[in-house]
Amino acid sequence: MSDASIPVLKLNRVNKRFGNFAAVTDVSEVFAPGELICIIGPNGAGKSTLLNMICGTLPLSEGSIEFGDIAIDGRAPEQIAKLGIARKFQVPSVFESLTVADNLRLSMPRGADSRRLEALLAKVHLLGDRDVAAGNLPHGKKQWLEIGMALAMEPKVLLLDEPTAGLSVDETRDTARFLKDLVGRVTVIVIEHDMAFVRELGARTIVMHHGAVIASGPFDLIESNETVRDVYLGRR
């Protein structure tokens, strides 16, 4: 299932160097409209750097990034956001004293009607929590609210960097279910290192190590891949 209004996101031999250090090397990937993709890899593999290049907060050293027929590399982050590529940051950005509904309303475009708010509340599984102050939400739901705030602008691509950090086992599993419900409506690229979460997502998984993609495919194949196991067990 895919949404024809979402452009394909394409990375062509993307490289990032910090001085002589190669943080990302020759990453080429195609993200289909409405696809859910997980990027995993040990600390320092280059995952966040890759995400930063997609959303424009870091310039590429080499390569290009296309969103449909638009080359987005070299554009300012605000321009890239305007094209529909949203990012949820790791730092919390909710207003704790405001209700869930008010937090979402603040993130929606001016003039958006109440039906859009209802749809958004449903999308982030918070219909029953609309009048709860954001500060009183359990951790997991606070994450969903933040994702909801990113979705309020109706982005075409959503980038998430370790959305399960600090969540309980149950909250982590619920978050995986929640993200799976977005399949087909928005392209979601999620960086993670919690293997239980990635297993639950069951999405196409890209493995990075020392800046390069070393494997890509369905999670069950990735999990049984000998090279990937070596990397995670620290054998290479």
Pick one of 20, 43, 114, 224: the residue that binds ligand ADP (CB under 6 A).
43
Residues contacting 82, CB < 8 A, separation 6+: none
Where do the H-state alpha helices sit in the chain? 47-54, 77-82, 100-107, 114-123, 139-151, 169-180, 195-201, 219-223, 226-232
Closer residue to ligand ADP, CB minimum distance, 23 or 145: 23
Residue 121 C-alpha from the chain's centroid? 19
Closer residue to ligand ADP, CB minimum distance, 33 or 46: 46
Pick one of 6, 7, 48, 67: the residue that binds ligand ADP (CB under 6 A).
48
Q: Min. distance of Cβ 41 from ligand ADP in angstroms?
A: 5
Residues 13-32 that bind ligand ADP (CB under 6 A): 18, 23
47 binding ligand ADP? (CB under 6 A)? yes
Q: Min. distance of Cβ 26 from ligand ADP in angstroms?
A: 15
d(CA 156, CA 8): 10
Contact stretch for Mg ion (CB under 5 A) within 25-33, 41-49, 138-146, 227-235: 41-49
d(CA 99, CA 154): 21
Place of tokens 């960086």: 191
Closer residue to ligand ADP, CB minimum distance, 141 or 204: 204
d(CA 206, CA 213): 7
Residue 128 C-alpha from the chain's centroid? 25
Per the CB < 8 A criterion, the answer to whether 39 and 206 are in contact is: yes
Interacting partner of 89 out of ligand ADP, Mg ion, none (Cβ under 5 to 8 A depending on kind): none
Q: Which residue is nearest to Mg ion (CB)?
A: 48
Closer residue to Mg ion, CB minimum distance, 145 or 191: 191
Pick one of 45, 101, 104, 160: the residue that binds ligand ADP (CB under 6 A).
45
d(CA 83, CA 141): 27
Residues 187-226 that bind Mg ion (CB under 5 A): none
Closer residue to Mg ion, CB minimum distance, 30 or 165: 165
Contact stretch for ligand ADP (CB under 6 A) within 37-45, 67-75, 151-159, 219-227: 37-45
- DSSP states of 193-216: --HHHHHHHT-EEEEEETTEEEEE
Residues 44-63 that bind Mg ion (CB under 5 A): 48
State the residues that interact with Mg ion by CB under 5 A.
48
